[in-house]
Structure formats: C-alpha cells, structure tokens
Amino acid sequence: MAAEPSKKVRMKDRVSRRFFLSLCVVLAALSLLVVSRESEFVPAWRPPTPESVATALAGLSLREFLDESYLLYLQRFPEIITVNGLARVIGMEESGVNDYSATYRGETEQIVDTILSVLRSYDRACLSYQERVFYDAYEWTWESLVAARVFAFPPDVLSYYSTYPTHLFDVLESSHELLSTADVETFFHRASSIPHQLSQLRDEIEKLMPLGMIPQVAVSRNSRRSLNRTFARGTTNSLYKRLDQGLRGIDGLDPDERQRFLDRLLAMLSESIVPAYRGFSDYLASLLDSAPSPGGWYQYPEGEAYYGFMLRRQSQVDLTVADMHALALSELDRLRGEMEEASADAGLPGFRDASTSLDDLRTHVNSYSGRSAIRSAFLDMIRTLEARVPEAFDTLPTTQLEIVAGGRGFQTTPQSFDGLQPATFYVNTTHPNLSELEVAWVTCHEVWPGHHQQLAISRESDLPFFVTVIRQPEPWFHDSAYIEGWARYCEHLADELGWYPHVELSHVRLLLEDYLWWFELALETGIQELRWSDETAQAFILEHYPDLMDYAVTEMIERRQSSLGWEVSAYGFGAQHILAFRSKAEAALGDAFVLKEFHNVVLRNGALPGPILERMVETTSRRSSVRRRTESGYGSILGNAVWSWRVELRV
C-alpha cells in the first residue's frame, strides 16, 4: 500500500482543490467593492452546510476524511478557526462569527451525524493498527457529543451566560490578525456582527427560561463583571487599541486612510458595540430576581443526570457521583496519613490542615515577589527542568517558547497553526509571595515536561487535527482528562525523579496538591450529589482552610455550585489514568519496561480519550512481553473503572 502523504502535502492539496472556487467567489466579491472603495464589505465565506459536507467527504481515504471532516466541523465555528490560527492554513476568509441560533445548532448536529455515518462506512477490519486507533478515538469523540442530546438544554449552556457574550470581543482583541487592509475589513465586518450575536444569545436564553434554566445569581454577576471591560469608550477601548496597533504594522498604509479606519471604529463603538454590550449586561441583571436560590444542578430539570453525565464525560471514569464523593473522602483520609509521614521526614510539624501546611512549607524555602524576581525565578527553573527532561524523554519539541510577564495568571498556549502566534507561557508577576516550591511546581505543570512539551509535540507531529489539542467550540469537547492529566502526571514524575529543589519538602508539596484536588472533588460532589447547604459546604471548607477569608469561601462554593465537573475531574482523574496505565505497563514488562518508550506512546499519538490510550499501552506491553496480570500503585485506586461509551473497545 502506498504511504499516505504528509499533513503539509495533504493541506496543499486541499487548498488547491478549493482555490478555484474560492477565487471565483473572492473575485465576485471584489467586483462589487470596485464600484466604490467606501462600499460595504461583502464577505466571501459561508459556513459549510450539511449537504456540502456530505459531498466533500465522499471518496476520501480514512486519513483525509479525519482531517477534512474535522476542519469542516470547526468551520461551523469561525471564531474557533481564528483562535487556532487555522484560517490561513486552509485558505478561509476570516469574516465569519459564531452563530448561536437553535437553527444553526440543528444544522451542525446534522453535520455531526453525517461525519459519524461516513466514519462507520469504512471497513475497520481493513485498517492498519494506527488507523484503528484514530478510528476508535474519532468515533468516541462524536458519540460523546451525540450522547449529550438526550438532555433538554445544550451542553455548553453555562457559556451562553459567561464566555460566549465576550468571545468575539476576545477574538478581535487577541487573535484576529491585521496584516493587510483586507484583514482590517474582515475585522470591521466581525465587529459589526456583535449586536446581532448578542441578540441571538438573548433569544436562546429566553427559550431556556421556560425549562427553568435561569442562571444562578453568582453566574450572572460574574458574567456581568466580565462584560465590564467591553464598556470602555473611545480610544480607551481595547478594540481601538488593537486596531491602532495593527494599522501601524501595515506597510504602505496612508496616514489619512489609517485615521479613517480609526474614526470608523470610534463611531461603531459609540453607536452600536458598547451600547449592545451594556444592553446585554442589563438583560443579565434583569434575570437576577428570577434566579434560583444557591444550589447545584439538581435545581434544574434533568440537572442531576446532566451533571453526572458531564462529570463522567470529563473524568472518563465509570463511577456515579456518589461513588466519586466516597472515593474523594477515602483519599483525603489516606493522604492525611502520608503527609504526616512525609512532613516528619522533611522536618515539618505534623499535618493539621491545608492552610497551615502551606505556611509551614513557605517558611523553609526562598520566596519571590516583584516582576523582575518572579520572572528570573521562572527562567532559571525552566532552564533547570529543560536540562533534566532528556532523562525521561527522547521525544522533545523544537518549538520555541516565549515568556510573557504580567497579571494573567499561569498559563501556556501552543503556537498557532499558521505560526503567527508563538507558543507562550504567561507568568503572573503580580503574585505577592511566590515560594521556590511553587515556582518549580508551576513550571513543571506548564512548561517542562508539562503543557509546552505536550502541546508542541502534538503540533509538530504528523497527526490528525482532532488529536492535536485544538481549542474547541464547546468548552468540554476536547479531552481535558488527557491535556490536564498529563500536566498533573508530570508533577508526579518530577517528584519521583528528584527534579524539584528541596526534594523532601517538594514531596510534601506534591502530596498537598493531591490532597487539595480530592478536597475540591469532595466539595463539588457533596454540593451536587448530597445537596449540601451553603452552611455545610462552608464548614467543610473551613475544616481544610481555616484561614480562608469569607469572600474566598463564598467564591469557592459558588464556583462548585455552577461547575459541570470540567476542572475538578479532568486534572486529577486524568493523572490517575496515566499513572495507572504506567503501573500496568510496568507490571506487564517488569525489567523490560522503559520509561521513555511509555512516554512516547502517551505523547506521540496526541490527545486520545482515556480508554483508547489505555488499550494502546496494553497493546504495546503485550508486544514487548507476556502480560503479567498484577496491579500496583495508582492502578488500585480506579481499578477497572475507565469508562467507554461502548461495552468493549476494539483497538
């Protein structure tokens, strides 16, 4: 069988196939613009339809189908295309915005059904082993999306009130490239769509209200807070600053034309954009009187089942919410004992609570404050860990990482597919007191060998797009259990291999992180499953964080009341999966187990769902040695609870 062409070759072929039709459409649009330079911009791009998708997917090889179908699906969410830097890669005009109407969502569901149907038309038995892996992962992905339809409200319902209202603003502010006047025109076209998009969101919220889906007070309040930054008027608005910066970078742009563009945006901000955002904020305020009392998802129709579904989807563990709560409490008891022993070994007082333990650790190590000191501490730790990772990895990325200091928190973003946005590690240099242990832990999680290494390898490898950790249309669509689980696994790996400074103190810090994750899971499942009152939740929090301020306790309760299990399950259970898979591989291979080869299996195949990754590890182990059926370590925590949509995986 002839080898499949590389991703770059396939992408060039795809762009070539589309070029003629795209050129015709663009020329038609330009012909309208020629009549008058000041005439209204006419977008050439239209979203794929169910009919056009079915036609485009006919007669493709499996690998072509995986990329083409996924990119067509993403094009239904043009803002996501921009965020990932895919528009220039696939030859797509960046004039579109996300459509939140029920009609559009229904068409997108038809496309998902078409993709799943075409996928199942391939004879799986005739595929190679690697193709079967991606076949099963792709099927798992779409089946999970279809399974959410049984509920009366969309799976991203919280985003209607929180992230969606400002998403287009964020895209224009940070992701929409301004390299030419054509880019400026698409910028204006998108900005002009803001009032209509907010109107769509309001209409969809109105349809949810008869179902009892009115957001809690805290959700509306936080949403309104996030909208505040869109209210800035005139030259202080961040959209104006973004356009001004972009126009200065366009070669040959006449100063008068530049000023016309800026004046045009000023008028748009004052006449439509800012009033639209203020109106939506006022609308959210009008919902406060009808908002339900504080509580979990059980307050809503089907809410209890919905929460359980979402928690299992992200954790990829076949446990009920009650089982997860019981497991969390059990692990808290176990970790208390471990921290007692580890604290004694490190010369620390015995474990009392999380607040006290954190204070004890900080008194034994260096701390950093101020922009320069914190940035230097992270640069030193990045160099230290980068020098150590070859001990456990032979697959290392070449993508360069930029360090950006500021107040954004600690976050790593991958290089965009078009290369215009670099891989970036954002460092919160406004932190008042950051300990040496925290610097090491954050660097391991975010950079080496955590997210940066993981994301860069994914982007540099010739993998199908759907496993290359793309930011997704729905907040829960991607496999957070793999993405965040890997970073948490790396924290354990660095502790095991002695990469952290102050080894014994760092081990206590790692156990404390595990303890705090199980605490968060116990808190959230207590609220959602046991229906804890605010008073019960507050007592549970103060048992572990007695020094926490009242406002912080309230915020923690509100966050867990509105959560759908994404954060609380993905980090911990994702790490548990990888640790369990490794434990099983070590048991199967014994002395033949090679840590670098295990990491190759996990990293070189992209963001696979837990059940698929587990089967890959098992298959690799069987190929290397006769499997010995023993389990140890973290394998005993989850047992055989890894969850699949099907009774049995077929990898």
Distance CA 262, CA 266 (A): 6
Q: What are phi and psi of 434, to 5 degrees?
A: -110, 120
Residue 646's pLDDT is 33
- Looking at residues 3-14, what average pLDDT do you find? 50
Residue 640's pLDDT is 42
pLDDT in tens, 572-586: 899 999 999 999 999
> Does 26 have pLDDT greater than 50?
no
Comparing 150-159, 185-194, 279-288, the range with the smallest average pLDDT is: 150-159
Residue 475's pLDDT is 54
Quickly state the pLDDT bin for 30 (edges 50, 70, 90): very low
- Which residues lie closer than 8 Å to 408 by C-beta, 6 or more apart? 426, 428
Comparing 169-183, 344-358, 472-486, the range with the smallest average pLDDT is: 472-486
Residue 40's pLDDT is 74
Number of helical H runs and strand E runs in the chain = 29, 5
Angle at 344 between CA 342 and CA 346, to 5 degrees: 70
Residue 7's pLDDT is 55
pLDDT in tens, 436-450: 999 999 999 999 999
- Looking at residues 256-279, what average pLDDT do you find? 97
Residue 18's pLDDT is 46
> H or E segment at 483?
helix 480-496
Name the 3-class secondary structure at 570: helix
> Does 12 have pLDDT greater than 50?
no
Full 3-state SS string of 271-312: HHHHHHHHHHHHHHHHCHHHCCCCCCHHHCCCHHHHHHHHHH
Nearest Cα neighbor of 323 from 334, 312, 314 is 312
Comparing 75-79, 252-256, 323-327, 468-472, the range with the smallest average pLDDT is: 468-472
Residue 474's pLDDT is 66
| Ordered alpha helix ranges (H), 75-180 | 78-83, 87-90, 102-119, 129-147, 157-161, 164-170
Task: Provide the token pair at 78.
Answer: 């043009």
pTM of this prediction? 0.89
pLDDT in tens, 297-308: 998 888 899 899
DSSP states of 339-408: HHHHHHHTTPPPP--HHHHHHHHHTTS-EE-SHHHHHHHHHHHHHHHHHHGGGT-S------EEEEEESS
pLDDT in tens, 542-563: 999 999 999 999 999 999 998 8
Percent with pLDDT over 90 in the chain: 73
Name the 3-class secondary structure at 161: helix
pLDDT in tens, 594-649: 999 999 999 999 999 999 999 999 988 877 654 333 333 333 344 444 433 332 33
Residue 6's pLDDT is 56
Residue 624's pLDDT is 63
Distances (CA, A) of 581 to 335, 426, 595: 21, 31, 12
Long-range contacts of 59-67 (CB under 8 A, 24+ apart): 61/4, 62/122, 62/127, 62/131, 62/134, 62/135, 63/4, 63/10, 63/131, 63/464, 64/10, 65/118, 65/119, 65/122, 66/134, 66/138, 66/464, 66/465, 66/466, 67/7, 67/10, 67/14, 67/464, 67/465
pLDDT in tens, 374-422: 999 999 999 999 999 999 999 999 999 999 998 778 999 999 999 999 9
**Can you say whether residue 154 is alpha, beta or left, with left for phi > 0 and alpha for psi between -120 and 50 degrees?**
beta
Quickly state the pLDDT bin for 493 (edges 50, 70, 90): very high
